[in-house]
Amino acid sequence: MKPGSYQLRAFLDKDGNNRLSEGERSPIAWSVAHTDSSNHSLELPLTKLPSDSLLSWRQLPADSSGTLALHVNLPQVKKGMLRLVKQDGIYREWNLENGVVKDSIGGLPPGQYALYVVVDINGNGALDAGSYWAREVSDQILRGPDVEVRANWHVDHQWVN
C-alpha cells in the first residue's frame, strides 16, 4: 500500500449485489494517514464496536464508482475551504490557498455533487457568522457548478473565475 491519505467509506449493501446501488448511502467512515510503505494495513478507530471486533473492507470497484479530476482557480479567494458535497454529506475538503486546487479523486459513488467554497474573510480558519453590533463581516459561501459522477467514468471539471 502506497503512503498517502485514505478515506474509507462504508455502506449497508441492502440488495446484496456487492455494489453501491441507488439509496445505499456511503458517508466517509474514516480518514486515515498511511506513512509506512512496508506496512500493508490501516489502523482504523472503531468507536462503536467492541475492541475485539474485526473489520474487513475493500475498495469500491471501478464499475461501481467514478473518478473526478478537479481544477479550481478562484483568485479572489485568498484563504478558504473547498468542499465536495453530496446529499448525504461532505465527501472531500481542501484548504484553498490563493484560490487554487488541483486534485483527482477516485472511488466516488455515482451521483450529483456540489462544490462550495467557504471564504475565510478574517483568516481564522473557522466559519464565522459575523456580528452586526460588533461590525464584523460574516464569511462568505460560494456555490460552484454541480458535478455529475457516473460509474466507470472519468470526469474533468473546472471552476474558474
Question: Per-residue pLDDT tens for 84-95?
Answer: 988 877 788 888
pTM: 0.61
pLDDT the model gives residue 71: 93
Q: Where are the beta strands (DSSP E) in the chain?
A: 4-9, 28-34, 66-73, 79-86, 89-97, 100-108, 111-119, 140-143, 147-149, 154-160
8 Å CB contact between 20 and 110 = yes
Q: Average pLDDT in the 6-18 region?
A: 61
Banded model confidence at residue 68, pLDDT cuts 50, 70, 90: very high
**CA distance between the termini of the chain:** 38
Q: Is the dihedral of CA 143, 145, 148, 154 positive or negative?
A: negative
From residue 102, alpha-carbon distances to 2, 30, 122 in Å are 20, 23, 24
pLDDT the model gives residue 146: 94
pLDDT the model gives residue 139: 82
Weakest-pLDDT range from 26-30, 96-100, 153-157 = 26-30
134: Cβ–Cβ under 8 A, 6 or more apart, which residues?
Answer: none
Residue showing cell 474487513? 56
Which among 9-18, 49-58, 74-83 has the top mean pLDDT? 74-83
pLDDT the model gives residue 33: 61
Banded model confidence at residue 1, pLDDT cuts 50, 70, 90: low
From residue 72, alpha-carbon distances to 9, 11, 78, 108 in Å are 25, 30, 13, 18
Q: How many domains does the chain have?
A: 1
pLDDT the model gives residue 53: 47
Task: Please tell me the distance from the alpha carbon of residue 33 to that of residue 6, in angstroms, as a whole number.
Answer: 6
pLDDT the model gives residue 86: 87
Domain that holds residue 100: 4-160
